[in-house]
Amino acid sequence: MTGATDAIIVAVVGVLGTLLSPFVSTWLTLKNRRLDYDFNRRDKEAERSHDDMRATFVERRNCYIALNTAARENHAAIRVKSHSLESSGSSLEVDKALAEARREYRLRYGEGQMMIPDNILQLASRINGILADSYGMMKRIEEGTGQEGENPDAVRRLLDTAWEPLREIRAEMRNDLGVGLLRSQGSSGI
């Protein structure tokens, strides 16, 4: 090869480089835009996933709070009604409070059946059974159809069996939310 051939090769490469430069530049720009788009899409998907997880957590936490509160209020309303039956019969105010507490509890228990994990639902079901049995016994006493041994004191004894599952469900709910376990032994709060 001679110097003239080398010059022609260099000139051809230079012309090709000049002609291909806009195409290469456009290709690189499109590639960078596609990479940016993919990055932004993945980032938005991750953010949306995080937001969905947060919303689910908040919804579950609110369900736990409502169910726990409603169960305890229903428990207390049945206890108050049992005392009312024992002392003065029935009062409209006590009956109204019990009806409201029971309605609210049933609503929250129904919501919980759709939201809470099986281990917590088993405890909720146990509590529901105790509350339903207590309410049923109390209504039979009120209507004068109570069976032998059914009296306001028996209603309260049955209600007392709900304390342990109420403590257990609270601990399980707190654990599920990442708050930590409350041990029923040594725990002074109910």
Task: Tell me whether residue 159 is in a domain.
Answer: yes
Task: Tell me whether residue 114 is in a domain.
Answer: yes
- Domain residue limits at 150: 59-177
> What string of DSSP letters covers 147-164?
PTT-SHHHHHHHHHTTHH
Task: Tell me whether residue 27 is in a domain.
Answer: no
Please tell me the pTM assigned to this model: 0.72
Task: Tell me whether residue 13 is in a domain.
Answer: no
Please answer whether residues 120 and 176 qualify as being in contact, where contact means their C-beta atoms are separated by less than 8 angstroms.
Answer: yes
Each of the 190 residues of the chain gets a pLDDT tens digit; together they read 577 787 787 777 777 778 777 877 887 787 778 877 777 777 777 778 788 888 999 999 999 999 999 999 999 999 999 999 888 766 889 999 999 999 999 999 999 999 999 999 999 999 999 999 999 999 999 898 989 999 999 999 999 999 999 999 999 999 999 886 544 444 445 5
Task: Tell me whether residue 19 is in a domain.
Answer: no
Please answer whether residues 141 and 150 qualify as being in contact, where contact means their C-beta atoms are separated by less than 8 angstroms.
Answer: yes
The count of structural domains within the chain is 1
Task: Tell me whether residue 43 is in a domain.
Answer: no
For the domain that residue 120 is a member of, what is the CATH number?
1.20.120
Task: Tell me whether residue 1 is in a domain.
Answer: no
Please answer whether residues 126 and 118 qualify as being in contact, where contact means their C-beta atoms are separated by less than 8 angstroms.
Answer: no
Task: Tell me whether residue 12 is in a domain.
Answer: no
- Rounded to whole angstroms, the Cα distance separating 133 from 121 reads 18
